[in-house]
């Protein structure tokens, strides 16, 4: 049996919370959900849904709000459009249009008010079946490349149980923008630099107070007991129910909690600056647009240097 086969099936459900207001991306998010903004031509949420399906999830629960109905609609089949594309012989477009509805079974959970990420996760609980003892959460703002970190996290859950989180190493001067892990070695030399035990978590610390350079990335395998912990926390920063607070409470209570370090690229689609970087990165790798863009960028940057 390959390593991948062994670790398959740790979680069946993946939650994508997508009911936030997207204030950092106003004004477009007044009417267009940020999850549907195109990275080249594919909405960010399709990239994330693809990652969940690839990691072996059977079901995606998208937490959404009445203001953001387009997010679920994107995962519906569109027979009228598909027939038109078929008639016109537009096979490539037809394949692209069919990809999202064919990826994975998608269900929606309604968050009536944006009361925080922790609250958004709690409204998805009813979608889990009784036998599920953990659940994956993928934040649609965070793109991690290459994919595969969820499979590594599954392997860690198999070894230690409990909750498994994901981190990226970031330079000291940038650390205050993130949730930061207080970590220690697992004791297994094979885990060094890759898997660590979490002792605590600090939200957006000053650089001198940061317990490490390991910042939280939006991938989680949460022990099912998280739903109970979410009932036991009080609203935190911004009056919202914070997922970080529930995880920190469970660490304090002794739930095994580990972090897997992602060594690849991470993009933040949740603000225009990060979104532009991701778009350029994906576009440079695109077979239609990549080479033209590369040439244009070289010229454009040369103009800056030449003044």
Q: Which stretch binds ligand UTP (CB under 6 A): 96-104, 139-147, 156-164, 170-178?
A: 139-147
As a whole number of angstroms, the distance between CA 269 and CA 273 comes to 8
How many residues belong to the chain? Answer: 307
Give the footprint of ligand UTP on residues 31-90 (CB under 6 A): 63
Largest separation between any pair of C-alpha atoms in the chain: 64
As a whole number of angstroms, the distance between CA 127 and CA 108 comes to 9
Q: Which stretch binds ligand UTP (CB under 6 A): 38-46, 91-99, 114-122, 165-173?
A: 114-122
User: Minimum distance from CB of 272 to ligand UTP (Å)?
Assistant: 10
Q: Name which of 111 and 257 has its Cβ closer to ligand UTP.
A: 111
Give the footprint of ligand UTP on residues 119-138 (CB under 6 A): 119-120
User: Minimum distance from CB of 289 to ligand UTP (Å)?
Assistant: 27
Among the listed residues 32, 53, 104, 115, the single contact to ligand UTP using CB under 6 A? 115
User: Minimum distance from CB of 243 to ligand UTP (Å)?
Assistant: 8
Among the listed residues 23, 76, 88, 288, the single contact to ligand UTP using CB under 6 A? 23
Q: Name which of 178 and 181 has its Cβ closer to ligand UTP.
A: 178
Residue 183 · residue 214 · CB < 8 Å? yes
With binding defined as CB under 6 A, does residue 141 bind ligand UTP?
Answer: yes
User: Minimum distance from CB of 30 to ligand UTP (Å)?
Assistant: 12
Give the footprint of ligand UTP on residues 239-298 (CB under 6 A): 270
User: Minimum distance from CB of 34 to ligand UTP (Å)?
Assistant: 7
DSSP for the chain?
Answer: --HHHHHTTS-SEEEEE--S--GGGTTGGGTS-GGGSEETTEEHHHHHHHHHHHTT-SEEEEEE-GGGHHHHHTTS--HHHHHHHHHTT-HHHHHHHHHHHHHSEEEEEE-SS---HHHHHHTTGGGS-TT--EEEEE-TTEEEESS-HHHHHHHHHHHH-SEEEEEEE--GGGGGGSEEEEEEE-S-GGGTTTEEEEEEEEES--GGG-S-SEEEEEEEEEETTHHHHHHHPPP-GGG---HHHHHHHHHHTT--EEEEE--SEEEETTSHHHHHHHHHHHHHT-TTTHHHHHHHHHHHHHHHHH-
Q: Which stretch binds ligand UTP (CB under 6 A): 1-9, 113-121, 165-173, 196-204?
A: 113-121
Give the footprint of ligand UTP on residues 3-22 (CB under 6 A): 17-22
Residue nearest to ligand UTP (CB): 20
User: Minimum distance from CB of 170 to ligand UTP (Å)?
Assistant: 17
Size of the site for ligand UTP (CB under 6 A): 20
Give the footprint of ligand UTP on residues 221-240 (CB under 6 A): none
The count of C-alpha atoms lying within 13 angstroms of the C-alpha of 60, restricted to the half-sphere facing its C-beta, is 29
Q: Name which of 19 and 261 has its Cβ closer to ligand UTP.
A: 19
User: Minimum distance from CB of 33 to ligand UTP (Å)?
Assistant: 8
Among the listed residues 114, 148, 161, 235, the single contact to ligand UTP using CB under 6 A? 114
Q: Which two tokens stand for residue 85?
A: 């594309």
Which residues in this chain contact ligand UTP in the complex, by CB under 6 A? Answer: 17-24, 63, 111, 114-117, 119-120, 139-141, 270
């Amino acid at each position: 049996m390959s390593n991948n086969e062994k670790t398959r099936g740790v979680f069946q459900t993946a939650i994508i919370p997508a009911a936030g207001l997207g204030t950092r991306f106003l004004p477009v998010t007044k009417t267009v959900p940020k999850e549907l903004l195109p990275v080249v031509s594919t909405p960010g949420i399709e990239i994330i849904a693809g990652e969940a399906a690839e990691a072996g999830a059977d079901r995606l629960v998208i937490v959404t709000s009445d203001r953001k109905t387009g997010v679920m609609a994107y995962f519906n089949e569109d027979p009228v459009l598909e027939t038109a594309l078929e008639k016109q012989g537009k096979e490539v477009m037809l394949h692209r249009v069919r990809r999202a509805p064919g990826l994975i079974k998608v269900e929606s959970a309604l968050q009536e008010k944006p009361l925080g990420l922790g609250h958004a996760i709690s409204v998805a609980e009813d979608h889990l079946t009784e036998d599920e003892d953990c659940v994956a959460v993928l934040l649609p703002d965070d793109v991690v490349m290459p994919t595969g970190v969820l499979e590594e996290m599954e392997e860690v859950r198999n070894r230690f149980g409990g909750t498994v989180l994901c981190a990226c190493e970031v330079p000291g001067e940038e650390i205050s923008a993130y949730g930061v892990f207080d970590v220690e070695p697992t004791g297994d030399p094979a885990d060094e630099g890759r898997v660590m035990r979490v002792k605590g978590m600090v939200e957006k610390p000053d650089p001198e107070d940061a317990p490490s350079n390991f910042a939280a990335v939006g991938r989680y395998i949460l022990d099912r007991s998280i739903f109970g912990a979410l009932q036991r926390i009080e609203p935190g920063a911004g009056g919202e129910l914070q997922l970080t607070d529930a995880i920190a409470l469970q660490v304090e209570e002794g739930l095994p909690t580990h972090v897997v370090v992602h060594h690849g690229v991470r993009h933040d689609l949740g603000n225009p600056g990060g979104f532009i970087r991701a778009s350029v990165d994906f576009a440079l790798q695109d077979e239609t647009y990549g080479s033209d863009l590369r040439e244009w960028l070289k010229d454009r940057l040369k103009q800056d240097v030449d003044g």
